[in-house]
Structure 1
Amino acid sequence: MLSLIKCEFVKLKRRKIIYAVFLSAMLFPAGLSLLLKMPRFAGRYGSPAELYDELYISSVGFGIQFLLPVVLGILSSVLFFTERDNDTFKALRTVPVTSRQLVLAKIGVLMISSVLYAFVTHLTIAIFGSMFFTYNDCPGYALLTLCNGIFIAMGTLPLVILNVTVARTYVFSVLLTIFYTVLSFFIIPLYPVVPKIVYQIVPITTTTFWTAGILGKIGKVNLELYGAELRDAIPSTLNMCIYMAIVGTVSAIVMVKLYERWEN
C-alpha cells in the first residue's frame, strides 16, 4: 500500500500539481496578514494578540474550509482520471493490484495532502502572525487545524464520487468542485431558518459548525452572540468523528465498485 501511495505522489510531482497545493495553502494566511496590518482593519482590534486570533480564524475559514475542498477536488480529478485518460485499466490487470488497493491508495494521497496542506497553513499563520502581530498560538490551534484537514478530506470524498461519475472533463470537474464548496458556505448563514438536517448532511458545513464550537470552548469565539440556534447546530466531537467515518467508509466502498466496473 505504501508503494502505491508513493507511486501516486510521483504522478502528481511529475505534473507539478503537488507544488501548487502547498503554495495555495499559504495564500490566505499571507494575504490576510497584509490585510489585517492595514490601519483601517487593525484599528478594530484591541491588541496584537486579538489580531493573531482573527488571522487564525479567518485563515482556517477561508484557507481550509473554503479553498481546501476546491484544491482536493482538482487533485482528485488528476488522481482518478489518470487511468481513464490513458486507458491503462487493462494494463493494471497484469500486475497484482486490486481495485480496492488502488482506490485506497488514492484516498490515502488525498488524506496526506490535506493534512500537509493544513500543516503548511498553520505554519504560515504562525510565521506571518509573528512577523506582523504577535505569536499567540494557543495549544488547541495546531490540533484544530489538523482535525480540519482530516475532516475536510473525508467530507470531500462524496465530491470525488461526483467528479469521477458525472464530470467528463477537468474543466467541468473544477466547476463542480467550486459549486459544491460555494453551496456549502451558502448554507451556513441559513442555520436559523433551514431544517437542521439540511446543514448536518453537508460535511463541509458540519465541519464549520464543529470548528466554531471548539473555538467557543477555548474562548476565542463568543457563541452567546449568535443565539441558541447556533449552539444547536454544533455537533459534538464524538458525533463528528462517527459521521465523518461513515462518510469516508461509504465513499470508499462506492469508489471501489466504480473502479471495478470500469475495469470490466
Structure 2
Amino acid sequence: MLSLIQTEFLKLKRKKFIWFMFIPALLMPLVAVLYFKAGSQVDLTPIKFYRWTAFSYTTWLILPFVLGMLITMLVYQEVENNLLTQLWIVPVGKLRFIISKFYVMWLYSICFMLICASGSIVIGSVSGLIEITNTSVLNLILKCLEIGALLPFGMIPILALATTQKGYILPVSTTIVYVFFGFILLMGNMYLHPLSSVIGVLMRNIEGVVMKDPVQIWKALLSITLWSGTSIALAINVLRKGKVL
C-alpha cells in the first residue's frame, strides 16, 4: 500500500494542472477584502474575517468542487493512458487502488486549506482589516486542518464514480450537482447527503455560524459511512467485472 501511495505522488510531479488548482484557495480571501473594504467595517474581528475567507464558500462549495475535479482528472488520465490495465495485471487490489486515490485527495485537501489559511492571514494583515494575534492564527490553522482532513470523506462517492468511468463528463457533471445539493441540504436535512453531513460537523463549533438544528454527530457519521461504503462496494464490483463505463 505504501509503495502504491508513493507511486501516486511520483505521478503527481508530472501533472502541472494540480498546481493551478490551488489558486481557488485564495479566491475568498480576496473577495473578503473587497467586500469589507467597500463596506467600511469598523467592528471587523479576525473570526468574522476568517468566516468569509475559509469557513464559508471555500468549505461549502470551492474545495468540494476542486476535489471532485482533481480526482476525476487523475483517474481519467490513467484510463486514457491505459495505466489501469497495467495495474490490474500487476495485480493491484481494487480497494487498494481506491484508497491510494483517496489519500492523494485527502493530502491535497489539507494543503489547499493551509494555503487558504496562509492567504487569509497575509491578505488580512496587508490590507489592514484585522489585527493578527497568535490565538486567532492558531484557531484558523487548526480549523483549516480539520476541514482539510474531514471534508474529503464527503467526496468518496465522487471518487468511487470516477474510478468506474472511462470519460470525465459524467463525473464532472455529477460533481457539480453533488456539491450543489450538499450545499442546499446543509440548511435542510443534512443527513441525507454525505457532504452536507461532513460540513455540518465542521460548522457546528464555529463562532457566529448558526445551524438550523443542533448537529447530531452520530447521524452525520452514519450518513457518511453508508454513502461511502455503498459507493465503494459498487465501484469495486464494477472494476472486478471489468465493466468500466
* TM-score past 0.5 threshold: yes
**Rounded Cα–Cα distance in structure 1 between residues aligned with 2:6 and 2:43:** 48
Q: Any idea what SS the aligned residue of 2:204 has?
A: helix
Structure 1: stretches of 5+ with no match in the other structure: 192-197
Partner of 2:10: 10
Partner of 2:132: 135
**TM-score by structure 2 length?**
0.82
Q: Any idea what SS the aligned residue of 2:208 has?
A: coil
What are the residue-to-residue correspondences of 1:119-130 with 2, within 5 Å? 119-130=114-125
| Residues 120/258 of structure 1: CA separation in 2 closer, same or farther (3 Å cut) | farther
Structure with greater helix share of residues: 1
Matched to 2:68, the amino acid is: G
> How big is the alpha-carbon RMSD for the aligned residues of Structure 1 and Structure 2?
2.8
**Rounded Cα–Cα distance in structure 2 between residues aligned with 1:242 and 1:127:** 38
**TM-score by structure 1 length?**
0.77
Q: Any idea what SS the aligned residue of 1:221 has?
A: coil
Matched to 2:96, the amino acid is: Q
Matched to 2:69, the amino acid is: I
Matched to 2:200, the amino acid is: F
| Residues 77/35 of structure 1: CA separation in 2 closer, same or farther (3 Å cut) | same
Partner of 1:187: 185
**Rounded Cα–Cα distance in structure 1 between residues aligned with 2:84 and 2:172:** 24
**Rounded Cα–Cα distance in structure 2 between residues aligned with 1:4 and 1:222:** 40
Contact 2:157 2:231 in 1 (8 A): yes
**Percent identical:** 22
Cα deviation for residue 156 of structure 1 reads: 0.7
Partner of 1:150: 149
Work out which of the residue numbers 192, 204, 209 in structure 2 matches 1:213: 204
| Residues 241/86 of structure 1: CA separation in 2 closer, same or farther (3 Å cut) | same
| Residues 263/145 of structure 1: CA separation in 2 closer, same or farther (3 Å cut) | same
| Residues 7/118 of structure 1: CA separation in 2 closer, same or farther (3 Å cut) | same
| Residues 261/115 of structure 1: CA separation in 2 closer, same or farther (3 Å cut) | farther
**Rounded Cα–Cα distance in structure 2 between residues aligned with 1:188 and 1:42:** 30
**Rounded Cα–Cα distance in structure 1 between residues aligned with 2:107 and 2:209:** 33
Contact 1:25 1:63 in 2 (8 A): yes
Partner of 1:195: none
Cα deviation for residue 260 of structure 1 reads: 2.3
Partner of 1:257: 237
**Rounded Cα–Cα distance in structure 2 between residues aligned with 1:93 and 1:241:** 32
Partner of 1:35: 35
Q: Does 1:231 align with 2:225?
A: no
Cα deviation for residue 62 of structure 1 reads: 1.0
